[in-house]
A = this chain, B = another copy of it.
Amino acid sequence: MISLGHGSGGKLTWDLINKISKKFESVQLTDSALLANKIAFTTDSFVVHPLFFSGGDIGKLSVCGTINDLSVMGAKPLYLSCGLIIEEGFEEEKLQSIIDSMAKTAKEAGVKVVTGDTKVVEKGKADGIFINTSGIGSLTSYEPKKIEVGDEVIINGEIGQHAIAIMTSRFDLDFEIESDCAPLNGLISSLPLNEVKFMRDPTRGGIAATLNEAVEDVGIEIYEEKIPVSEEVRAVCELLGFDPLYLANEGKVVVIARDGEEIVRAMRKHPLGKKAEIIGKVTEDKGRVFLRSLSGGRRIVDMPIADQLPRIC
């Protein structure tokens, strides 16, 4: 029986995806597939609820998400598709507003929406609108490299903004928190990519999931005091008992490089990297992510099993 946890980006999702991908012998378990002729190809469906939230909407999100999946593979995003599944009775003004938002975001990011499809299902058989965007990019010279002990872990800004923005919009909470939803292709192409060993956008499952995906032959230790978290996100997390490490982001990239300072310097020159920080280092604790807390303690950061919050993207 499929549960909400199977869509969480955590361990249940990985188990399901592993089962599915065994059937597709050729599937690549990365954000984008790398194909012949230096092409990268990716797909993402968006079921975010609510459709309109502080800092964005499903349209903007669907364009950013696919651009970011291509960008972290070192590809230059070029073309997007737009597949709509609309619930009967959906207001046409909302649809127009979502499409406007997709068009605006794509244009600003220098990406073209070139093909589309529209399906309509009966009232009660969907939830307003679901959007699939698939994307094609051209591979740059970037290649992931072997992560080694002593490498540094960098992030381009405050974490948890997207998840908390969705939550406050969904439950009408009285906080002023905007999603970080943004296309990362500009920021990423401004980095010294030959210095970058690993890049990933920490969406569902947050940086906890991303860092756990990065550690196979090594470990990672992150420092609580260095991880950028806004006052507002921290406040909501304390109030509701969420851990920011597990919260989804939609405009963040985790980078691992030998010289973290060089990456931070490059990031801070870009509007989306002003609050970049070195947040941790690669250690010998094979397969493990640890958090060094403010009080000096050290605790394991596990791969999330299921979601803190479903339908975040």
A interface residues, Cβ below 8 angstroms from B: 1-8, 13, 16-17, 19-21, 23-28, 32-33, 35, 37, 39, 41-47, 78-79, 81-92, 95-96, 99-100, 102-103, 106, 112-122, 124-127, 130, 132, 134, 136, 310-311, 313
Contacts and interface: CB of A to CB of B under 8 A. Distances in A.
A116 B118 CA distance: 20
11 contacts: A7-B118, A23-B99, A24-B103, A26-B112, A44-B117, A45-B117, A46-B119, A47-B85, A83-B83, A121-B311, A126-B126
Contacts of A126: 125-127, 130
A82 B132 contact: no
A235 B218 CA distance: 67
A88 B16 CA distance: 14
B99 A41 contact: no
Contact of A45 (B79, B119, B136): B119
A47 B132 CA distance: 13
A102 to B, nearest CB: 7
Nearest to A124: B124
A24 to B, nearest CB: 4
Given A2-B91, A119-B313, 6 more contacts: A20-B116, A24-B103, A27-B82, A45-B83, A83-B132, A120-B310
In this complex, which of A2, A24, A27, A122 has the most chain B Cβ atoms within 10 angstroms of its Cβ? A2
A20 B39 CA distance: 27
A136 B21 contact: no
A120 B2 contact: yes
B115 A42 contact: yes
B37 A114 contact: no
Nearest to A125: B127
